[in-house]
Amino acid sequence: MSNTGDNNNNENDEQIPPETVPNLLMQALIGEMTQLMRIELEAVHARVDRIQENAQQRQPRDMPIRRGENQPKG
C-alpha cells in the first residue's frame, strides 16, 4: 500500500486515524468469536451433562465397587 499517486486513500487516511480502524475491527472480531464460542460451549456442556446423567443411571447404586477383582493373585 503505497501513498504515491492515490489521493482517495490519502483523504480517507486523514479522516480516520490508522490505529483506530484495526482496533475497531479487532474488537468486532473478538466480540463475534466470543459470542460464537459461548453458543458452541453451551451445546458441549449440555451434551456432557446428558452423558454424565446416562452414566449415573446405568451404574447400580446399591452395589459396592469391588477393587482388585481382575488382578491376579500371587
pLDDT of residue 12: 53
DSSP conformational letter for 21? H
pLDDT digits (tens, 9 = 90+) for 27-73: 999 999 999 999 999 999 999 999 999 988 887 665 666 676 565 55
Q: Which three cell numbers stand for residue 32?
A: 463475534
pLDDT of residue 59: 73
Q: 13: exposed, middle or buried (C-beta count within 10 Å: 0-12, 13-18, 19+)?
A: middle
**Separation CA 52–CA 35 (nearest Å):** 26
Residue 74 clears pLDDT 60, i.e. is over it: no
Compute, in degrees rounded to 10, the torsion defined by CA atoms 53, 57, 63, 69. -70
Between 32 and 16, residue with greater pLDDT: 32
pLDDT of residue 43: 94
**What is the reported pTM?**
0.44
